[in-house]
Amino acid sequence: MNREVVKFQHHVFYVTDLKRSKDFYMDLFDLQFSALNHPDSSAAMKLAKQEMHFFSFGHYHHDICLVKHHELKMDNESLLHYTMEVADAHDFDHILQKSKKEKIQLKEGRMLKSAKFEKGWKAFCIQDPDHHWIEIIHKPSRN
């Protein structure tokens, strides 16, 4: 039997200030904090000199995870963007309005000019506190 992958499941990326990023993601998207791996709780983190904060969208243990590397300096421009899908149109509007109200750097439409954008889809892009670009998309036909 040929084994293959079925989907993009979770994303783990570096941030410079865990508290600041945690507040951003929990406040704007209502993500649920699900676990903390710290050099005082995890052997791997102790060896790697890293700390990880896990967040759930509400089903899996984690969907995104923020990592602080206590030694290396990271380059936040080495990832162009990632996309989070919002199933509910009201939630999409809520995130958009809140982003505008909080004067978060925002770009209307999809991040990539060549990305699919079907009739009825809605999308915008914002930057998190580390300037990672996050694309927010709503695809009504899929829900």
Between 56 and 85, how does the x/- string for binding to another protein read (CB under 8 A)?
xxxxxxxxxx-x-x--xxxxxxxxxxxxxx
Report the residue from 9, 103, 118, 119 that binds another protein according to the rule CB under 8 A: 9
* Position 1 contacts another protein (CB under 8 A): yes
Under 8 Å between Cβ of 132 and 79: yes
Candidates 82, 22, 8, 9; CA nearest to 52 is 22
Q: What contacts 29, CB < 8 A, 6 or more positions away?
A: 84, 95
Report the residue from 39, 104, 106, 117 that binds another protein according to the rule CB under 8 A: 39
* Position 8 contacts another protein (CB under 8 A): yes
Under 8 Å between Cβ of 84 and 29: yes
* Position 89 contacts another protein (CB under 8 A): no
Q: What single-letter DSSP state applies at residue 113?
A: T
Report the residue from 91, 106, 122, 129 that binds another protein according to the rule CB under 8 A: 91
